[in-house]
Amino acid sequence: MNSSIRVGNLFGIPFYVNPSWFLVLALVTFDFGGDLTNFSGLSGVLPWFLGFVTALLLFASVLAHELGHSFVAIQQGIEVKSITLFLFGGLASLEKESKSPLEAFLVAIAGPAVSLLLFALLTAVQANANLASSLASIVALLASINLALALFNLIPGLPLDGGNILKALVWQVTDNPHKGVLFASRVGQFFGWGGIIYGVLP
């Protein structure tokens, strides 16, 4: 992460963005901004501004996910060295592993739990608030992104959160953290190769 740019601190945690983040920010801004031009009442720079705000909110969702991991780790006395946003999401860099499988499980599940909570809150807002169609579209997109973020990260293979959850469960059963890492890594390789094979199939 040496090429990442330090933005500042969040709750005492050094916060970085990788240059690749700006590419995704631009792509989301122009893609969703273009979609918003189809809504009546939105013209000029307004659709593109809303697209930019939406892109920032999407990354705020990723940041909230990583803060979920970070806050639980801090409660366990683990230093969070940094949080970095990059092309494929975010990463909270922890000083060390949790001391027990239960604590490791709680750190791992915290991120998806935050994303699912945001999905539930945004879905409730969309269903109950009388929003303009353009704003409703933004809220719906944010809700779906948070759901996708949670479900993708729950795939049970390292380096995803689901892999860390699986690692903690195997650690609990075997009383051996190394067996947990090995098993979750192999499952992660299985899903990785499965994704590659699926991608090249006609």
Do 21 and 46 lie in one domain? The reply is yes
Do 130 and 166 lie in one domain? The reply is no
Do 25 and 101 lie in one domain? The reply is yes
For 110-135, the DSSP string reads: HHHHHHHHHHHHHHHHHHHS---HHH
Spatial separation of the C-alpha atoms in residues 96 and 186, rounded to whole Å: 22
Do 128 and 189 lie in one domain? The reply is no
Spatial separation of the C-alpha atoms in residues 74 and 13, rounded to whole Å: 10
Decide: 94 and 88 in contact? Cβ < 8 Å.
Answer: no
Do 116 and 186 lie in one domain? The reply is no
Residue-wise pLDDT tens digits, 84-143:
998 878 999 999 999 999 999 999 999 999 999 999 999 999 999 988 888 898 999 999
DSSP H helices, the chain, are 19-36, 46-75, 101-128, 133-153, 161-174, 177-200
Residue 40 has a pLDDT of 62
Do 143 and 165 lie in one domain? The reply is no
User: Catalytic residue among 66, 79, 97, 103, which?
Assistant: 66
The count of structural domains within the chain is 2
Tokens at 137, concatenated: 């579209």
Do 147 and 167 lie in one domain? The reply is no
Residue range of the domain that includes 34: 5-154
103 catalytic per annotation: no
pTM comes to 0.91
pLDDT grade for 194, boundaries at 50, 70 and 90: confident
Do 135 and 176 lie in one domain? The reply is no
Residue 2 has a pLDDT of 64
